[in-house]
Amino acid sequence: MIAQTAFPDPWAFQAHPEVWLLVAFLVGSYVYMVRAIGPGAVAAGAPVVTARQTGCFVLAMALLWFGADWPVHDLGEEYLYSVHMFQHMLFSYLVPPLALLATPTWMARVLLGTGRTYRVGAFLSKAVVAGVIFNLMVMITHIPGVVNASVENGLLHYTLHAFLVLTALLMWVPVCGPIAEWQIGPGAKCIYLFLMSVVPTVPAGWLTFAEGVVYRHYEQPVRVWGLSVTDDQQIAGAIMKIGGSAFLWAIVVFLFFKRFGAGFDRDNSYLRRADAPGTLTFDEVTRAFERSEPPLLEAERGTRDERRHERP
1 pLDDT band (50/70/90 cuts)?
very low
256 pLDDT band (50/70/90 cuts)?
confident
pLDDT of residue 312: 53
| Cβ proximity of 142 and 70 under 8 Å | no
2 pLDDT band (50/70/90 cuts)?
very low
Identify the H or E element spanning 111: helix 105-112
> Coil, strand, or helix at residue 143?
coil
Closest CA to 243 of 140, 168, 153: 168
Closest CA to 99 of 37, 23, 161, 42: 23
List the domain boundaries for the chain.
Answer: 17-266
Per the prediction, the chain carries an average pLDDT of 85
4 pLDDT band (50/70/90 cuts)?
very low
The residue with greater pLDDT, 302 or 180, is: 180
For the stretch 200-236, pLDDT in tens is 777 777 777 777 788 888 888 888 888 988 899 889 8
pLDDT of residue 272: 55
Closest CA to 159 of 141, 145, 132, 175: 141
| Cβ proximity of 121 and 181 under 8 Å | no
Give the whole-angstrom CA distance, residue 252 versus residue 187.
Answer: 9
For the stretch 263-306, pLDDT in tens is 555 555 555 555 555 566 767 767 776 776 665 555 555 555 55
